[in-house]
Amino acid sequence: MCKSTLVLSAPTVQRERWMWRRLQKDQLVAVRARERVSASALGLVCAALAGCLGGQTGSEDEKDYPPPRCEPEWNERELRWDERSQLGLLPAEARALVVGEHVATLSWDDANVHYSFEPEHGQSQIVIDVAPPLALPKLITNGCDSSLSFVSSVTLSTAGGALVEQLQGVFSADSGSHVDLKAQLSLDALTGLLTVSAKEGQPPTQLHVRATFEYQRVSGVLSASAAVSEFGSQFACWPSGITSCGSSL
Residues 184 and 101 in one domain: yes
CA neighbor of 192 nearest in space, from 158, 220, 235, 223: 158
199/180 same-domain check: yes
In a domain, 246, yes or no: no
Same domain, 39 and 123: no
Q: pLDDT (tens digit, 9 = 90+) per residue, 146-193?
A: 899 999 999 999 999 999 999 999 999 998 899 999 999 999 999 999
Looking at the structure, tell me whether residues 60 and 117 fall in a common domain.
no
Which CATH number goes with the domain that contains 146?
A: 2.40.128
Q: Are residues 206 and 220 in the same domain?
A: yes
pLDDT above 90: residue 139: yes
The percentage of residues in the chain with a pLDDT greater than 70, rounded to a whole number, is 67
Q: Does residue 178 share a domain with residue 83? A: yes
* 37 plus 49 within the same structural domain: yes
Does residue 4 sit within a domain? no
Average pLDDT over the chain reads: 79
Between CA 149 and CA 156, with CA 154 as vertex, the angle to 5 degrees is 135
On the question of pLDDT at 27 being above 70, the answer is no
Same domain, 15 and 136: no
pTM: 0.69
Residues 112 and 217 in one domain: yes
Is there a domain that residue 5 lies in?
no
Last-in-domain residue among 19, 43, 67? 67
Distance CA 135, CA 94 (A): 14
Which of 226, 225, 235, 243 lies closest to 118 in space, CA to CA?
235
Q: Which of 67, 91, 110 is the last residue of a domain?
A: 67
Domain boundary among 67, 85, 101: 67
Highest mean pLDDT among 27-41, 46-60, 68-82, 158-172: 158-172
Residue 19 has pLDDT above 80, yes or no: no
In this structure, the answer to whether residues 164 and 193 fall within a common structural domain is: yes
Return the pLDDT at 176: 84
Name the domain count of the chain.
Answer: 2
- Among 96-100, 129-133, 144-148, 214-218, the least confident range: 144-148
Angle, alpha carbons 215-216-217 (nearest 5°): 90
pLDDT digits (tens, 9 = 90+) for 104-127: 999 999 999 999 999 999 999 999
Residues 183 and 202 in one domain: yes
2 falls within a domain: no
The domain in which residue 106 lies consists of 71-238
For residue 245, tell me if it sits in a domain. Answer: no
**pLDDT at residue number 230:** 74
Cα–Cα distance measured from residue 178 to residue 22, given in angstroms and rounded to the nearest whole number: 84
Q: Are residues 98 and 59 in the same domain?
A: no
In a domain, 182, yes or no: yes
Structural domain contains residue 108: yes
Summarize the confidence of residues 66-75 as an average pLDDT. Answer: 64
Q: What is the mean pLDDT of residues 129-145?
A: 92
In a domain, 243, yes or no: no
pLDDT confidence tier of residue 83, bands split at 50, 70 and 90:
very high
Assign 3-class secondary structure to the chain.
Answer: CCCCCCCCCHHHHHHHHHHHHHHHHHHHHHHHHHHHHHHHHHHHHHHHHHHHCCCCCHHHHHHHCCCCCCEEEEEEEECCCCCCCCCCCCHHHHHHHHCEEEEEEEEECCCCCCEEEECCCCEEEEEEEECCCCCCCEEEEEECEEEEEEEEEEEEEECCCCCEEEEEEEEEECCCCCEEEEEEEEHHHCCCCCEEEECCCCCCCEEEEEEEEECCEEEEEEEEECCCCCCCEEEEEECCCCCCCCCEC
Please write the tens of the pLDDT for every residue from 216-225: 999 999 999 9
Mean pLDDT of 245-249: 48
